[in-house]
Structure 1
Amino acid sequence: MKRKLTTKFIEGQKPDPSKRLDFRDELMAGLVLRISTSGTKTFCLHKRINGKMRRLTIGRFPVLSLAETRERVRQVLYEIETGRFEDRTGIEVETKPTLGDVIPDYIEKHAKVHNRDWKRKEALLAKFTILHGKQIDEIKRADVVQACDVIGKSAPVSANRALAHLKHLMSWCVESGIMDASPISGMKPRAKEQPRERVLTDDELGALWAVCGDEGYPFGDCMKLLILSGQRRAEVAEMRWSELDLEKRLWTLPSQRAKNGKQHTVPITDAMLEVLRKTPRFFNSDYVFTTTGKSPASGFGRVKERLDKALPDGTEPWIIHDLRRTMSTNMAMLGVPQPVTEALLNHKTGVVSGVAAIYNVYSYADEKREALGKWNQHLGSMLAKREEASCQGTTTMTQPRKREHAS
């Protein structure tokens, strides 16, 4: 904020508990009054020295008056221009942290507090290796473009995700007073992405269900619930027994675990209940799918590799998230209205928005149960036909490869 600084103005300024305030003086170029969240008022000089922007702490108000500050700034500017500034003492030169210094601070103070997937965010920010040694306020847009292009050579989509996280980090730095402006504000993704359209066929779903049965607990059973419920992988993998009401046939996903931060209820069908009732329970553990009892099941990348090896040759590439699209597509074919499908998937698509969305927490309860029942019935019929055809030896579907178990 730029304005003419006066003693009366400085004395009358109150701190903002949420952020640090900077007021740039219109009379003395580079002079800034900084007011901390606690109310400390400090005079600083922003000046480029030897090609690098520096913030020099001149002194605190009212120990140093505005007139004394302006006179001191004139002396500093003269010595900078004449090349004698480096010989001065008593002026504190504030050196900005590097990106490598800021990332851990950002992860600890912001990402861990607000993001369930903070580890993914941390991993993507780590890809900006060539920028980690640069001071945060010296990173230019061209530097980020170059870094994104390096990342994009092997992983274009990851480059886009990493850029999105870096933009948020720099916005956080601006809000925290670490830097004055983000050099990449408004910067568009470097790589063009094609929206995924992959939908698994009934044959592929049948084969996947079979290999999930071979996989067993916890990962195979978790994958079966993903197919049956259409919910997100992390939400199912981190499911708690305390979230389930098996008598009322209801799974209540709390807002802190839902991706969109909204409490979500999922009806439990007969097929889902069958999977859950066969699931072993760890003593003193609330996790439904776990290998240790202390943390939810993880390592789905390796699980996916095992499933792919067990699936029939020629199966088109797929990802776990495609299971949600597969359910959504089949529901449309089964005549389920889109708003009901979106409610079941816990999507925020604009179908229900504004005030209606706020009061829509329990809406579509009966419709969601009916819709999920239709989808599970369709799966059951398809699996039954597959089993019958297999028993009669007339199936035309390619059977899954038999998994090899190490002795």
Structure 2
Amino acid sequence: MPRKAVEMSPLAVRRLTKPGHYVVGGVAGLALQVSDTGARSWVLRARIGSRRRDMGLGGYPDVDLALARQKAREARDLIDKGVDPILVRREAKSALLAKQASHKTFEQCATEFIDAKSAEWRNTKHAAQWTSTLKTYAYPHIGKLLVSDVGVTQVLAVLKPIWTVKTETATRVRGRIEQILDWATVQHYRQGPNPARWRGHMDKLLPTPGKVAQVKHHKALALDEVPAFYSALKLQSGIGARALELAVLTAARSGEVRGATWPEIDLGQKLWTVPAGRMKAGKEHRVPLSDAAVALLTALPRVEGTALVFPSPKKKLLSDMTLVAVIRRMKVDGVPHGFRSSFKDWATERTQYSREAVEMSLAHTIGDKVEAAYRRGDLLEQRRKLLADWAAFLGNGGALSS
């Protein structure tokens, strides 16, 4: 045990301003440490186990003499019981930091989830759509809540106001909340079942989406009106009109056409190969080009400074509204995606081509995994004839039927 020192008074302690180590008495080993800068702090020097340790007790005058002695006594009581007070304090601090780190809000978890998953999303707009819908519909209700506190009541507060009026959006929001809460559970930020899960849970609390709102199909022209539209389209000027023309000829999606690049197109082989990263199904898609499509592409100028086939005036990707604007200028009640429906109606009702060839032309997934495993080819030559007949149907005023 250290030699017992004379107990200093509060006034005497206040006068200790020169750099040094001053034992203040009252508790063995308690001292005031004055640094060269004039900062003063309390130190308890004691033997803990087999080691002599210095334990900080706080700065002076925030911790006055009476409080320093109280802290020193408490520390010595622990030492007498065989407990290391320094280790206890470190463990308590570590536990506090761990607890603070696990106390994440729903919005914080959503942001981290989107950052973690966005690399695997093919469409760069996907992350923006996630953020936008969550910011609009979820964050006002649960964004600032600890993710551990998000339960059924809170999820319903998000979904109920939009479930019957914006059903499609609401179902997406529910699915996104479910994924974020699953992620938070794996990260140990929350425990228990996911309150946003649908089957056996939310399906008992909310109406089935399909029974709330009728599915809205893309607006499409009557099949016999398509050739006349196509003829009128060819007379329209502008890069948007040419992009829409290729979309009609190939039955491709607007995004696939707008993102087309010259390296993807082999005019000699009459083939357009869309890479997997730009396809909805995540698989490379080969598009046979009819003579009409080749003629269209051959007549297009190559714009210096971009590989895009249909660049905007700023040599960027065309807006998804550019093709819609062409249709509106023509005063037609339809959307670009509707011509895919027209193509399918024509192929199904007026030709003898196989269902598989038609679905593959639309880049739809064919059958189940077993069926897909047995079908290695993509029916390219059959689809080449199919799209050639489609182009003839468009160009002949709808007279062709094979």
For normalisation by structure 1, the TM-score amounts to 0.64
Runs of 4+ aligned structure 1 residues displaced above 6 Å come to none
* Superposed counterparts of 1:258-297, under 5 Å: 258-292=279-313, 294-297=315-318
The reply on whether 1:169 has 2:176 as its aligned counterpart is no
Give me the whole-angstrom Cα distance separating, in 1, the residues matched to 2:119 and 2:313. Answer: 23
Shift of 1:209: 3.2
Question: Residues 120, 207 of structure 1: CA spacing in aligned structure 2 closer, same or farther, 3 A cutoff?
Answer: farther
Identity level (%):
20
Alignment of 1:176-325 (within 5 A): 176-180=187-191, 181-186=193-198, 187-188=202-203, 191-192=209-210, 193-197=213-217, 199-202=220-223, 204-206=225-227, 208-209=229-230, 212-213=233-234, 216-292=237-313, 294-298=315-319, 300-301=320-321, 303-305=323-325, 307-312=327-332, 315=333, 318-325=334-341
Q: Equivalent residue for 1:137?
A: 148
- Inter-CA distance 306–235: structure 2 relative to 1 (3 Å threshold): closer
8 A contact 1:148–1:159 mirrored in 2: yes
The whole-number CA distance in structure 2 between the counterparts of 1:108 and 1:90 is: 27
User: Tell me, what secondary structure is at the counterpart of 1:265?
Assistant: strand
Q: Specify whether residues 177 and 328 from structure 1 end up closer, same or farther in structure 2 by C-alpha distance, changes over 3 A only.
A: farther
Separation in 2, partners of 1:343, 1:322: 17
**DSSP-derived class of the 2:278 partner:** coil
Per-residue deviation at 1:372?
Answer: 1.2
Q: 1:279 to 1:124 in 2, by over 3 A?
A: farther
Q: Output the amino acid matched with 2:299.
A: K
2:106 paired residue among 99, 119, 136:
99
**Distance between the aligned counterparts of 1:121 and 1:207, measured in 2?**
40
Taking structure 1 as reference, are residues 263 and 89 closer, same or farther at Cα in structure 2, changes over 3 Å only? closer
In the TM superposition, 1:3-402 aligns within 5 A as: 91-92=95-96, 93-94=99-100, 95-116=102-123, 117-118=125-126, 119-127=128-136, 128-130=138-140, 131-152=142-163, 154-180=165-191, 181-186=193-198, 187-188=202-203, 191-192=209-210, 193-197=213-217, 199-202=220-223, 204-206=225-227, 208-209=229-230, 212-213=233-234, 216-292=237-313, 294-298=315-319, 300-301=320-321, 303-305=323-325, 307-312=327-332, 315=333, 318-333=334-349, 334-350=351-367, 353-354=369-370, 357-358=372-373, 360-382=375-397
> What is the aligned length?
295
The alignment's C-alpha RMSD in Å is: 3.2
Alignment deviations for residues 90-112 of structure 1 (CA, whole Å, 9 cap, x no partner): 74133522222223322222124
Name the one with the larger helix percent. 2
Give the whole-Å Cα distance in 1 for the aligned partners of 2:228 and 2:151. Answer: 51
1:323 Cα deviation after fit: 1.9
Question: Any stretches of 5+ residues in structure 2 without a counterpart?
Answer: 1-82
Runs of 5+ in structure 1 lacking a partner? Answer: 1-67, 77-87, 386-407
The change in CA–CA distance for 1:275 and 1:362 in structure 2 (over 3 A counts) is same
How far, CA to CA, are the matches of 1:348 and 1:210 in structure 2?
Answer: 31
Cα 1:337–1:137 change in 2 (3 A) is same
**One-letter code aligned to 2:181:** M
Deviations 1:307-343 (A, max 9, x none): 225315xx4xx43322212111110122221111111
1:206–1:366: structure 2 CA closer, same or farther, 3 Å change rule? closer
Per-residue deviation, 1:179: 3.3
Call closer, same or farther: CA 1:252–1:172 in 2, change over 3 Å.
Answer: farther
Q: Measure how far apart 1:247 and its partner are.
A: 0.3
Shift, 1:218, TM fit: 2.4
Are the counterparts in 2 of residues 230 and 345 from structure 1 also a CA contact under 8 Å? yes
What is the TM-score with the length of structure 2 in the denominator? 0.64
Q: Deviations over 1:131-184 (max 9, x none)?
A: 222222222223222312323465322222222333233333334444334221
Against the structure 1 CA distance between its residues 135 and 275, is the aligned structure 2 distance closer, same or farther, given a 3 Å change threshold?
farther
Q: State the Cα distance separating 1:357 from its structure 2 match.
A: 2.2
